[in-house]
Structure 1
C-alpha cells in the first residue's frame, strides 16, 4: 500500500454523510472531500487511520458531468458549505441517496420507499440566520466563519446562501466592531469579550435582529462602549435592524447561547409568516432557517396528521408546526425545553387564536415520564440532530399512538430511532426528504409511521 505522503489515483464510488467522495484501495476506504461519484482524482493523503484514510484532491483526472464552479469565493476555505461544486439537481440526488443509505445500512429497516427530494424554493440567499465567529488570532481581531475542521476564522465579505439583508448587516457590524476597542475572544488564553455575532432576519417583513454573544458580563465601560457603537445601528433605517441584544455565555464548549440575554437597543423579537400564521421568535429561539421550505414541512406534517383528535408534539420550538396541527385537530400538547422558546410558543398560540394547545416546558424525556399520560392519536417528533432520547421512544411504545410523524434533520438518527419504532410495532408509510439547506450535505426528512395491525 502507498505511503502516507504518496499521491494516488482514486476512483470515487460513493459519498458519505459529509458529502465526501468514497474510494477504495484494495478494500481500504479513503474519504475525499470535494470529489463526486464517477470522478477519478489524483489525491494526497492527509490522514491515515487503521480502517480509513482522508485524502485531498491534487488534480481531477476525470471530471463528473455534474461538477460546476462554486459560486462562493471562500468555498474552499470556509466550513459552511460542502456541495457548491455539484449542480443543484445532483445535490438533490445526493441527498436522496444519503437518506436511502442511512435507513438501509444503519437502520436496516425491513421495507421502505424514499420519495424524491423536494427542491428548495430558493437555492441561494435563503438562510435567515448566521453565526459569525469573533476571535483574536494572529495578533488581530477576525470576524467570519470557521475554516473546515478547525477553529481558524475565515474572514468574508458576504455569504451567498444568506439573506442579502444579513450580509449588509454583517458588513456594517464588522466595520463598527473591528474599528472599536471592544476585544474579541482569544480561545488559547480564555480572554476577550465578544465570542460570536449572530444575525437573524424575517423574510416576510425584511427586518433583522443581531446578538453579540459575550464570554462574560461586560464591565460598565465596555457596556457603554457597546451601546455607543451599536445603538446607532438600530436608528439606521435602510438596514432594517430592529434590535440588538447581548447574550452572556461564560461556559466552554461549542454551544452558542448562554442563559442570560439582555436588550441593548430596539426590539427583542422578529415576526415571520408561515402560511396563514404569524409567528414571533427571539434571537435565541430555534426557528427554521429556510422559511418557504419550512412551510412545506408544516404542510406535509399536517397532511399526515389529518383525522387526529389529540396530538402530542415533542420538541415544538416556538410553534411553527404546532399552529398547523392545532388548526386541524381537537387538542395539541406541545413540549419544549428551551424556556425562551416556550414563552414565544405561548405568545404565538394566543396571537393566532389557537386556544386548544397545552404547553409543557421541560426536556421531552422528563415531561413524558412525569407529566404526560396516554390518549394520543398521533405523536409528532422534531428532535435535534442527536435524535430522540431513549425514554421518549419507550414512552411512545407504551401509549401506542396510531401515527408517528418524525421530522428529522439527520438521516442517521432517523434511521436509528426508526429502527426502534419498527421493533415497537410501527411500519414506515411515507419518507419525504426536503432540501432545507441547499449547497450543503444536510437534508431534512419527514417520515410517517403507522401502527401495524
Structure 2
C-alpha cells in the first residue's frame, strides 16, 4: 500500500510526492524505490488528467480543492492493482458514458471517464474508486467508498514456507484475502509471509 498526498508547488502546478520532515510541504516525486513499479505510471496518469482537466488539488489551509490523496494497493501474488482517489466532496451526479469503459451514472470527478479509460490501460488494474473525505483532518481516508470501475476489491495470497527453518524454497499452505481500500493489510508482503510462517509452525509445535 502507498498513499500519496496531492498538492501544488509554488507556481500552482499540481504535484504529488512525500511530505518534507515535520511539515505538510510536499516534495514532488512520483518514483519511489520502495513502492510497486506501477506506482509511478499510475501517479503520472492521474497528474496528467488533473492538469488537462483543471482538476484542483486540496488545500489544507482553505479547505478548498478536490483531490486530497491517491491510495494505491497491489496484490503481489495476483498482480492486481487498486487505485482510490480521496476527494474533498461529492460532485454533481451525471451520466458520462465512455467507449471501452464501464458506464457509471455517478460523476465524482470532472470528465471522469477520461481518467478511468487511462487507468484501465495499465496492466493489472482491477479496481478504481473514490473515497469521500470532506473533513478538515489529517486522517487520509473517508468512510464512504464509491467504486467507479472494475471490482470493489483485489486479492492477495500469503504463503507458508514448507520448513519452519526456512531452508526450503517451496510453499504449501496459503491464505487468500480480499482487500478493499479501507482494509488493514500488512504493506510488506515479505513480512506477511515470514510472520505467517512463524505463527504456523509455532502453533504446530
Match of 1:159 among 27, 32, 36: 32
Shift of 1:234: 4.3
SS at match of 1:220: coil
Query: Going by fraction, where is helix more abundant, 1 or 2?
Result: 1
Aligned to 1:183: 56
Q: Which runs of 5+ in 2 are unaligned?
A: 95-106, 160-173
Q: What is the distance in 1 between the residues matched to 2:43 and 2:110?
A: 19
Shift of 1:204: 1.0
Q: SS of 2:38's equivalent? A: helix
The residue aligned with 1:134 is 6
1:252 and 2:136 matched: yes
Deviation at 1:191, TM superposition (A): 0.5
After TM superposition, give the deviation of residue 291 of structure 1 in Å. Answer: 0.8
Q: Distance in 2 between matches of 1:226 and 1:131?
A: 23
Deviation at 1:252, TM superposition (A): 2.5
Q: 1:136 to 1:148 in 2, by over 3 A?
A: same
Secondary structure at the aligned position of 2:24 is classed as: coil
CA deviations 1:108-167 (Å, max 9, x no partner) are xxxxxxxxxxxxxxxxxxxxx111101245333222211111111111131111111222
Is 1:291 matched up with 2:175?
no
**RMSD of the TM alignment (CA)?**
1.9
Give the equivalent residue in structure 2 for 1:201.
74
CA offsets per residue over residues 359-407 of structure 1, 9 Å max, x none?
xxxxxxxxxxxxxxxxxxxxxxxxxxxxxxxxxxxxxxxxxxxxxxxxx
Cα distance, 1:168–1:140 mapped onto 2, change above 3 Å: closer
Q: Which runs of 5+ in 1 are unaligned?
A: 1-128, 308-453
- Kept in 1: contact 2:14–2:50 (CA 8 A): no
Q: In 2, are the aligned partners of 1:165 and 1:206 still within 8 Å (CA)?
A: no
Q: Is the 8 A contact 2:82 2:126 kept in 1?
A: yes
Structure 1 pair 174–140 and aligned structure 2 pair: CA distance change class (3 A): closer
Instruction: Report deviation, 1:223.
Output: 2.5
CA deviation map 1:179-209 (0-9, x unaligned) = 3221110111110111001111111122201
Inter-partner Cα distance in structure 1 for 2:32 and 2:53: 24
Q: Report the equivalent of 2:177.
A: 279
- Structure 2 CA distance for aligned equivalents of residues 295 and 161 of structure 1: 18
> In structure 2, do the counterparts of structure 1 residues 166 and 140 end up closer, same or farther at CA, with 3 Å as the change threshold?
closer
* CA distance in 2: counterparts of 1:232 and 1:257, whole angstroms: 24
Q: Which of these two proteins has the greater Rg computed from alpha carbons?
A: 1
Task: Give how far 1:226 is off.
Answer: 4.8
Contact 1:170–1:199 under 8 Å retained in 2: no
SS of the residue 2:128 aligns to: strand
Residue 231 of structure 1 corresponds to which residue in structure 2? 116
Other-structure match for 1:264: 148
**Matched-pair contact (CA < 8 Å) for 1:184–1:193:** yes
Q: Given the alignment of the two structures, is residue 210 of structure 1 paired with residue 78 of structure 2, yes or no?
A: no
1:185–1:193 contact (8 Å) kept in structure 2: yes
Runs of 4+ in 1 over 6 A off after TM superposition: none
SS at match of 1:181: coil
After TM superposition, list the pairs within 5 Å mapping 1:395-406 onto structure 2.
Answer: none
Change (3 A) 1:219 1:143: farther
In 1, the alpha carbon distance for the partners of 2:75 and 2:9 equals 33
1:225 positional shift: 2.1
2:5, 2:84 → 1: CA distance?
12
Give the C-alpha shift of residue 215 in structure 1: 1.4
Q: Secondary structure at the match of 2:84?
A: strand
In 1: Cα distance, 2:175 partner to 2:87 partner: 34
